């Protein structure tokens, strides 16, 4: 690779200081080259974003020798580790291998460089890649497992990585004779947990060592607590929960969010179960009850209750995923006791609403029962995973929620790339509701993690056979 010598922002950092390259506009270009003797076939040019993006960028790709247009990458509000693919036909692949690819940033609307992972200090799984179509590709579900159990599935620390960690933990316990998930789990944690220290970057790419940036950051502590309930980093989660608790017992940042059911209530419950801490158990229950009260209105569910009293993201698919996953996983950890029966009833109510609001394809639209917003795979995987987990617990009906979860699995596996990324996800919600409703879709590492959780649960239920090989 040849790239402009632009310095990386001094207030930002990449995971483990992995190396990056800048893509800029004007006369300066970034050039990629490959040497391959593989038979020519259609393929995809893949880039990974290395630093938080909070606007829209367009990267133009042309052949480095003759300037033949190859297409453009449409990048909107990307997170670190976000992949983007540019499809190439056989002739375009031949041109790329002969000449290389020249990348430039379109002048409008971008004002800053786009940073991608590149170079020897970045893992091979994060460097720019020319992916050629295989004559005999693996089964989609097997590709999912291969992806999840490799460094390719690492996500930003917090809710995104937590979804993958839960999948890896579930896969390890579901297939105890297969060591791949346990090995991957250790490798993933080693990216962020260094002995007794926590080293990571917040959603804007700023160093956040040994602190918790917000309520979404505590989901990974569920797996940390399952593996070692005395791990020193767990105090960071507990201290953060205490500091962010409002007068009604809700752990929140500025708004009350559905994410907190999963990212706060669930790790609280795991730690309470592991340590016998009754105070934490009661706090976990409060996270669910207060969110039920603040975020549901008749048959509608909202992602957020804002400080001004308004509610937003009505019936957004991922709001349903976080709410249902939080309810089912938290209550499962807490065990069946009379003081949580009303919350299991709430989980069953939300599950029935989700089942009734599936689209014609058997999954869920970006906003439930709003077909104009288009099918959305990441939220669908999360909803289906929660349904399967509820069936496993004996709280949802196998012939209703169980069947729906299995059908969703089959549909979603067809949306996997040949190397196991779930396609068809809406982007991060930092772009607002207009972007969520626009139909814009991308690959999702979170979605792959949620789909892995679903596949593990369905395997334990006997609804699908071993899909990992």
Phi, psi of 88 (to 5 degrees): -130, 135
Spatial separation of the C-alpha atoms in residues 43 and 36, rounded to whole Å: 13
Run of H or E residues at 443:
strand 442-444
Q: Which CATH number fits domain 140-461: 1.10.3720.10, 1.50.10.10, 3.40.1440.10, 1.20.810.10?
A: 1.50.10.10
Question: Given phi > 0 = left and psi -120 to 50 = alpha, else beta, which region is 335?
Answer: left
Q: Which is it for strands 114-117 and 311-314: parallel, antiparallel or unpaired? A: unpaired
Per-residue pLDDT reduced to its tens digit, 323-348: 999 999 999 999 999 999 999 999 99
Q: What residues in the chain have per-residue pLDDT under 50?
A: none
Cα–Cα distance, 452 to 166 (Å, whole number) = 9
Q: Which of 340, 331, 324, 343 is nearest to 386 (CA)?
A: 324
- For the CA atoms of 152, 158, 164, 166, the dihedral, rounded to the nearest 10 degrees, stands at 150
CB–CB of 49/114 below 8 Å? Answer: yes
SS3 255: coil
How would CATH label the architecture of 15-132? Sandwich (2.60)
**Which pLDDT value is given to residue 26?**
85
110 with 25: CB under 8 angstroms? Answer: yes
Q: Could you tell me the pTM of the whole model?
A: 0.97
CA angle at 343 for the pair 306 and 239, rounded to the nearest 5°: 55
Backbone angles phi, psi at 166, to 5 degrees: -60, -40
Q: Give the domain ranges of the chain.
A: 15-132, 140-461
Distance, in Å, from the CA atom of 294 to the CA atom of 281, rounded to the nearest integer, reads: 20
CB 416 within 8 A of CB 144: yes
pLDDT digits (tens, 9 = 90+) for 298-308: 999 999 999 99
Structure tokens at 131: 């992916």
Evaluate whether 260 touches 215 at the Cβ level (below 8 Å).
yes
């Amino acid at each position: 690779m040849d790239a402009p010598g632009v310095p990386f922002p001094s207030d930002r950092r990449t995971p483990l200081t992995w190396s990056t390259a800048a893509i800029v506009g004007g006369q300066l270009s970034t050039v990629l080259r490959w040497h391959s003797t593989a038979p020519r076939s259609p393929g995809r040019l893949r880039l990974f974003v290395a630093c938080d993006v909070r606007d829209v960028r367009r990267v133009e790709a042309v052949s480095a020798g003759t300037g033949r247009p190859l297409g453009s990458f449409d990048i909107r509000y990307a997170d670190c580790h976000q992949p983007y693919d540019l499809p190439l036909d056989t002739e375009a692949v031949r041109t790329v291998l002969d000449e290389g690819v020249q990348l430039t940033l379109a002048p409008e609307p971008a004002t800053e460089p786009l940073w991608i992972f590149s170079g020897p200090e970045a893992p091979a799984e994060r460097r720019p890649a020319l992916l050629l179509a295989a004559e005999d590709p693996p089964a989609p579900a097997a590709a999912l497992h291969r992806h999840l159990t490799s460094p390719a599935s690492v996500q930003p620390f917090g809710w995104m990585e937590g979804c993958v960690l839960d999948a890896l933990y579930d896969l390890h316990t579901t297939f105890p004779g297969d060591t791949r998930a346990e090995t991957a789990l250790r490798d993933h944690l080693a990216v962020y947990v260094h002995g007794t220290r926590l080293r990571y970057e917040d959603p804007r790419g700023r160093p956040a060592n040994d602190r918790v940036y917000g309520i979404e950051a505590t989901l990974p502590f569920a797996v940390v607590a399952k593996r070692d309930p005395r791990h020193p980093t767990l105090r960071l989660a507990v201290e953060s929960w205490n500091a962010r608790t409002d007068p009604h017992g809700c752990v929140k940042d500025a708004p009350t969010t559905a994410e907190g059911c999963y990212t706060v209530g669930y790790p609280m419950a795991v730690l309470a179960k592991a340590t016998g801490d009754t105070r934490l158990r009661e706090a976990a229950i409060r996270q669910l009850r207060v969110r039920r009260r603040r975020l549901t209105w008749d048959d509608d569910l909202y992602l957020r209750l804002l400080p001004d009293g308004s509610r937003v993201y009505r019936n957004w698919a991922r709001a349903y995923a976080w709410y249902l996953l939080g309810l089912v996983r938290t209550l499962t950890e807490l065990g069946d006791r009379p003081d949580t029966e009303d919350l299991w009833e709430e989980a069953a109510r939300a599950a029935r609403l989700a089942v009734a609001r599936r689209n014609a394809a058997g999954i869920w639209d970006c906003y439930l029962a709003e077909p104009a917003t288009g099918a959305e795979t990441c939220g669908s995987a999360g909803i289906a995973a929660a349904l399967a987990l509820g069936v496993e617990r004996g709280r949802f009906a196998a012939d209703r929620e169980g069947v729906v979860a299995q059908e969703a699995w089959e549909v979603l596996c067809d949306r996997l790339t040949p190397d196991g990324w779930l396609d068809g996800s809406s982007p991060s919600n930092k772009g607002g509701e207009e972007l969520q409703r626009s139909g814009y879709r991308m690959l999702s590492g979170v979605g792959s993690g949620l789909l892995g959780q679903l596949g593990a649960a369905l395997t334990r239920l006997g609804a699908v056979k071993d899909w990992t090989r």
